[in-house]
Amino acid sequence: MRLPSAESVDQVTRHVSSALSKVCPGPGCLIRRGNADTPEGPRDTSPNSETSTSTTHSVCGGFSETYAALCDYNGLHCREEVQWDVDTIYHAEDNREFNLLDFSHLESRDLALMVAALAYNQWFTKLYCKDLRLGSEVLEQVLHTLSKSGSLEELVLDNAGLKTDFVQKLACVFGENGSCVLHALTLSHNPIEDKGFLSLSQQLLCFPTGLTKLCLAKTAISPRGLQALGQTFGANPAFASSLRYLDLSKNPGLLATDESNALYSFLAQPNALVHLDLAGTDCTIDSLLGALLHGCCSHLTYLNLARNSCSHRKGREAPPAFKQFFSSAYTLSHVNLSATKLPLEALRALLQGLSLNSHLSDLHLDLSGCELRSAGAQALQEQLGAVTCVGSLDLSDNGFDSDLLTLVPALGKNKSLKHLFLGKNFNVKAKTLEEILHKLVQMIQEEDCSLQSLSVADSRLKLRTSILINALGSNTCLAKVDLSGNGMEDIGAKMLSKALQINSSLRTILWDRNNTSALGFLDIARALESNHTLRFMSFPVSDISQAYRSAPERTEDVWQKIQWCLVRNNHSQTCPQEQAFRLQQGLVTSSAEQMLQRLCGRVQEEVRALRLCPLEPVQDELLYARDLIKDAKNSRALFPSLYELGHVLANDGPVRQRLESVASEVSKAVDKELQASPGERD
């Protein structure tokens, strides 16, 4: 094509550049022009000019235009639903995470074009895909996008069906893109070969700002690959200040050899980690804690070391680092040591360290499946009382059994505990089981009980579950209970329904695997008709399936009724006031009234002790104390009247209704007067 003049060339170039910038928005010029004969003059780059590359784009960085252009270029049908979702939903939520799961119902070639469009998009900063196997053409476009994009900051390909050589190709892409700003990478649950890890580690050496997040859980990474990764962490100083989230879990044997020394060296140096997950990597816990003590102890918040072990032998004292770490970790909120076969000495060191830590609060400590047994129960009884920083404690599946008779009262004395898990610890004879359950009931019925949730899941309590359920009716502290896996049958459901009719504090109930039939669910449905406070009930898949096989229509109707009641409760602000008052005055006595009664009792005891004292000042104080007791009794007697007064003045009370009625009558009278006024003036 020949053009008559240089001005015509410039005009065509401007139009082409403008069109390209609309479908492929980017920070730089898409067309370079100029030569020795026609030097480039001043250019108008204002937003309204045709030569401007900062043309105002549509929503979400012009994704829809780019996607449509790519569809047209490749001769494929443009999916309007994709454009609508991005332009409407993503834009309305200001969502910069492009989630391939939103379009998982489309064909692989459609997904490939969407990913390709991200290469020219500056709006989206994250590409997310989890539990969706991606085809080769989609993965090719992922690599292409990473090679071009200067805005993609996070890539999540979790269980995405990556080929073993994908990471090697990914490393090459990082080397090609000088403007890459990626700082978070998740490749968990994909098989990755050593070549890929070696190549990736080599490229990460060149990342000027390092990574903030790296997830490689269950990737079959070998100790050799870990060694290369650990050396990269140490060689690139940026990682010491940037890496905050590291997940290498579910890689058996990963930390069992000397190749892990490079990672330990990095962890022992000052670093920025706040989240560390090394569950199931065969690391030695005491050695790791020694490294963390010097590295990130002061700001680590999440630590998962489940399914690992300690190196020291039984009978010997735990290494000092064990106690020092837990006394010096000032920001921990979650510690998981489940299934670690924790030695008694290590448990004692752990509890001693936590008892010395005054900076923590509401820590979740998971010690489930640690085979603590009698010795562990004894250690907990002796030392848990001094631990005030643990708010959630999981002691499930530790073989405590009959030791719960003494352990449960000890747990009740710790007023920092809010959430307690005791499931799979009740393998005892019937008589002992009843005694343990009565101890549990006594604990949750204490006036100063701090527990908010209790789990006895998978304990096979059977019909004796009713002992605990019966106590829920008048309980005011528990907001959540887990009764799953106890085989309590329809009798248990009947008892639970009675408790729900009078309980106003429970918000969540988890229950399944209890051999509950449609009749049992019907009892629960009837109870929920009068319960306006329960908000959530887990879907009992096992029991519902079994009940549906024997009575499909009845089961479906009953469960719909249960769901309707729960929806009603979630949309209502409070339960009916009359019912709330009856519960407060009857089975659920208010904490304020209980406190008033206790204080009166204490004052009366002091009065009796001092009434024979002849001193005049003491007699004056006694008169004042008797007046206080009298006022307190009058206040208790006024509780019903105060409630009735509050009900009268409530939003839906008779006073409000009367005021609305008067306002309506006045409004009608004014309207009538206004309509009559023009006729009178005539």
Per-residue pLDDT at 20 exceeds 60:
no
Given this model, what pLDDT does residue 110 score? 95
What's the rounded Cα separation, in Å, for the pair 301 and 314? 29
335: phi then psi, degrees, rounded to nearest 5 = -130, 125
Given this model, what pLDDT does residue 402 score? 96
What's the rounded Cα separation, in Å, for the pair 173 and 160? 19
What's the rounded Cα separation, in Å, for the pair 184 and 502? 50
What's the rounded Cα separation, in Å, for the pair 33 and 681? 81
β-partners of residue 156 are: 128, 186
Model confidence at 671, pLDDT cuts 50, 70, 90, reads: confident
Given this model, what pLDDT does residue 595 score? 66
Region for 61 from its dihedrals, namely left if φ exceeds 0, alpha if ψ lies in -120 to 50, beta otherwise: left
The H-or-E segment that residue 246 falls in is: strand 245-247
Contact 232, 265 (CB under 8 A): no
Model confidence at 292, pLDDT cuts 50, 70, 90, reads: very high
Residues whose CB is less than 8 angstroms from the CB of residue 531 and which lie 6 or more positions away in sequence, other chains included: 500, 501, 503, 504, 565, 569, 575
What's the rounded Cα separation, in Å, for the pair 535 and 507? 5
Helices 489-502/465-472 angle, 10° precision: 10
The H-or-E segment that residue 480 falls in is: strand 480-482
Per-residue pLDDT at 333 exceeds 70:
yes
* Cβ neighbour number for residue 72 with a 10 Å cutoff: 12
User: Strand 508-510 to strand 536-537: parallel, antiparallel, or no bridges (unpaired)?
Assistant: parallel
Given this model, what pLDDT does residue 663 score? 78
Per-residue pLDDT at 33 exceeds 80:
no
CA atoms within 13 A on the CB side of 459: 31
Nearest residue to 138 via CA among 163, 168, 120: 163
Model confidence at 39, pLDDT cuts 50, 70, 90, reads: very low
Given this model, what pLDDT does residue 276 score? 98
What's the rounded Cα separation, in Å, for the pair 341 and 272? 29
Q: What is the pLDDT of residues 419-452, one digit of tens each?
A: 999 999 999 999 999 999 999 999 999 989 999 9
| Tokens of residue 343, six digits | 């030695």
Per-residue pLDDT at 502 exceeds 90:
yes
Tell me what the mean pLDDT of segment 199-218 comes to. 94
Per-residue pLDDT at 55 exceeds 60:
no
Q: What is the pLDDT of residues 89-122, one digit of tens each?
A: 999 999 999 999 999 999 999 999 999 999 999 9
User: Strand 245-247 to strand 213-215: parallel, antiparallel, or no bridges (unpaired)?
Assistant: parallel
Q: Name which of 17-26, 61-70, 314-323, 454-463 the model is least confident about.
A: 17-26
Contact 171, 199 (CB under 8 A): yes
Q: What is the pLDDT of residues 142-161, one digit of tens each?
A: 999 999 999 999 999 999 99
| Tokens of residue 355, six digits | 């008892």
Given this model, what pLDDT does residue 167 score? 93
DSSP helix/strand/coil, 240: helix
Given this model, what pLDDT does residue 317 score? 72
Given this model, what pLDDT does residue 609 score? 72
Residues whose CB is less than 8 angstroms from the CB of residue 109 and which lie 6 or more positions away in sequence, other chains included: 76, 137
Tell me what the mean pLDDT of segment 359-369 comes to. 96
Per-residue pLDDT at 670 exceeds 90:
no
Own/partner long-range contacts of 580-587 (Cβ < 8 Å, ≥24 apart): 580/504, 581/643, 581/647, 583/502, 583/504, 584/643, 585/639, 585/640, 586/502, 587/473, 587/474, 587/502
What's the rounded Cα separation, in Å, for the pair 379 and 92? 55
482: phi then psi, degrees, rounded to nearest 5 = -120, 110
Judge residue 424's burial from the number of C-beta atoms within 10 Å of its C-beta, 0-12 exposed, 13-18 middle, 19 or more buried. buried
* Portion of the chain with pLDDT greater than 70, in percent: 82
Given this model, what pLDDT does residue 7 score? 63
State the Cα torsion 625-628-634-635 to the nearest 10°: -140
Q: What is the mean pLDDT of the chain?
A: 86
Given this model, what pLDDT does residue 479 score? 97
What's the rounded Cα separation, in Å, for the pair 40 and 231? 50
Q: Which residue would you say has higher pLDDT here, 208 or 603?
A: 208
Per-residue pLDDT at 661 exceeds 60:
yes
Model confidence at 49, pLDDT cuts 50, 70, 90, reads: very low
Residues whose CB is less than 8 angstroms from the CB of residue 417 and which lie 6 or more positions away in sequence, other chains included: 390, 391, 392, 393, 411, 450, 451
β-partners of residue 536 are: 508
Given this model, what pLDDT does residue 47 score? 35
Q: Which residue would you say has higher pLDDT here, 651 or 529?
A: 529
Given this model, what pLDDT does residue 195 score? 87
Tell me what the mean pLDDT of segment 506-533 comes to. 96
Own/partner long-range contacts of 50-55 (Cβ < 8 Å, ≥24 apart): 50/14, 50/15, 50/17, 50/18, 51/14, 51/17, 51/18, 52/18, 52/21, 53/17, 53/21, 53/26, 53/27, 53/28, 53/29, 55/18, 55/21, 55/22, 55/25
Judge residue 652's burial from the number of C-beta atoms within 10 Å of its C-beta, 0-12 exposed, 13-18 middle, 19 or more buried. exposed
Q: Which residue would you say has higher pLDDT here, 588 or 415?
A: 415
Per-residue pLDDT at 587 exceeds 50:
no
* Portion of the chain with pLDDT greater than 90, in percent: 70
The H-or-E segment that residue 563 falls in is: helix 552-571
Model confidence at 628, pLDDT cuts 50, 70, 90, reads: confident
Distances (CA, A) of 619 to 451, 601, 604, 608, 609: 43, 19, 14, 12, 12
Tell me what the mean pLDDT of segment 621-638 comes to. 76
| Tokens of residue 423, six digits | 């499931």
* Cβ neighbour number for residue 432 with a 10 Å cutoff: 15
Q: How far apart are the first and last CA of the chain?
A: 84
Judge residue 166's burial from the number of C-beta atoms within 10 Å of its C-beta, 0-12 exposed, 13-18 middle, 19 or more buried. buried
Tell me what the mean pLDDT of segment 522-534 comes to. 96
Distances (CA, A) of 682 to 149, 525, 673, 674, 678: 78, 67, 15, 14, 6
Cα radius of gyration rounded to whole Å, the chain: 34
Task: Report DSSP state, residue 284.
Answer: B
What's the rounded Cα separation, in Å, for the pair 286 and 317? 12
Per-residue pLDDT at 631 exceeds 60:
yes
Q: What is the largest CA-CA distance in the chain?
A: 123
Q: Name which of 232-236, 544-548, 583-587 the model is least confident about.
A: 583-587
